[in-house]
Amino acid sequence: MFPKKLSSRITAWVMVILFIAVISLISGANWITKTFYQNHLSNEVEARIVSHAHLLEKDVQEHVIEYIEEIEVGKSSHLLILDSNINVSYQSENIDETILHHYQSWINENQDRVEGVEDPFLEHVDTAMLFHIPHVWSLMPIYNNDEITGYVFLDQDTGDLNQAQIKLLYLFAAMGIITLIIGNIFTIYLTKRISKPIDHISEMTKNIADGDLDIELQVHGEDEVGRLAANIQSMTKQLKDYRDSRRQFITHISHDLRTPITYIKGYSAVMKEMPPDKQNEWKRNLNVIYQEATRMEHLVSDLFLLTKLEEGKIKLNIDTVYLPSWVRSLYESRMIMFDQKSIETSLVISKNVEDLTIKIDPYRMEQALINIIENAIRHTPNNGKIELSLIKRENEVRFAVTDTGPGIEQKALPYIWDRFYKVDAARSQNDSGTGLGLAIVKEIVEAHGGYVSVESKLGEGTTFSIHLIIHGTDGDSND
Question: Is pLDDT above 60 for 1?
Answer: no
Q: For 12-48, what is each residue's pLDDT tens digit?
A: 888 888 888 888 887 887 777 777 777 887 888 888 8
Give the C-alpha separation, 358 to 93, whole Å.
115
- Least-confidence region, from 91-100, 209-218, 350-359: 209-218
| pLDDT higher than threshold 80 for residue 79 | yes
Percent of the chain residues past pLDDT 90, beyond the cut = 10
The per-residue pLDDT for range 419-454, each reduced to its tens digit, is 766 665 443 444 555 667 788 888 889 988 999 999
Task: Select from 421, 433, 418, 329 the least CA-distant residue to 377.
Answer: 433
The pLDDT score that the predictor gives to residue 473 is: 43
Parallel, antiparallel or unpaired: strands 461-469 and 451-457: antiparallel
pTM of this structure? 0.48
Q: Where in the chain is the domain with CATH 3.30.450.30?
A: 6-165
Nearest to 365 by CA among 422, 446, 285, 471: 446
Instruction: Give the Cα separation of 464 and 437 in Å (integer).
Output: 13
Tens digit of each residue's pLDDT (9 = 90 or more) over 230-245: 787 788 888 777 777 6
Which residues touch 216 (CB under 8 Å, ≥6 apart)? 233
> Is the per-residue pLDDT at 305 higher than 80?
no
pLDDT of res. 403: 93
Amino acid 251: pLDDT: 66
* Residue 110 pLDDT > 90: no
Whole-number Cα distances in Å, 82 to 9, 54, 100: 67, 14, 12
For the chain, give the mean pLDDT: 80
State the Cα–Cα distance between residues 275 and 218, nearest whole angstrom. 71
Q: What is the rounded average pLDDT of the residues 292-315?
A: 72
Within the chain, all domains assigned CATH 1.10.287.130 are found at: 224-310
Q: Can you give the pLDDT at residue 216? A: 73
Residue 413: name the closest of 462, 364, 373, 377 by CA.
Answer: 462
Q: How far is 130 from 126, CA to CA, in rounded Å?
A: 10
5 alpha-carbon distance from chain centroid: 22
pLDDT digits (tens, 9 = 90+) for 387-417: 999 998 888 899 999 999 999 888 888 888 8
∠ CA 226-229-235 to the nearest 5 degrees? 140
Q: Where in the chain are all domains bearing CATH 3.30.565.10?
A: 319-469
Per-residue model confidence (pLDDT) at position 428: 43
Q: What are the b/e assignments for 169-193, b being 16+ CB within 10 Å?
A: beebeeebeebbeebeeebbeebee
Backbone phi, psi, residue 452, to 5°? -115, 160
Least confident of 108-117, 368-377, 431-440, 461-470: 431-440
- Residue 161 binned pLDDT confidence (cut-offs 50, 70, 90): low
| Amino acid identity at 87 | N
- Statement: residue 386 has pLDDT above 90: yes
Q: Residue 131: what residue type?
A: F
d(CA 101, CA 257): 117
Q: What is the dotted CATH code of the domain comprising 319-469? A: 3.30.565.10
* Element holding 89 (H helix, E strand): strand 88-91
Q: Which CATH architecture has domain 6-165?
A: 2-Layer Sandwich (3.30)
Domain 224-310 grouped into CATH 1.10.1740.10? no
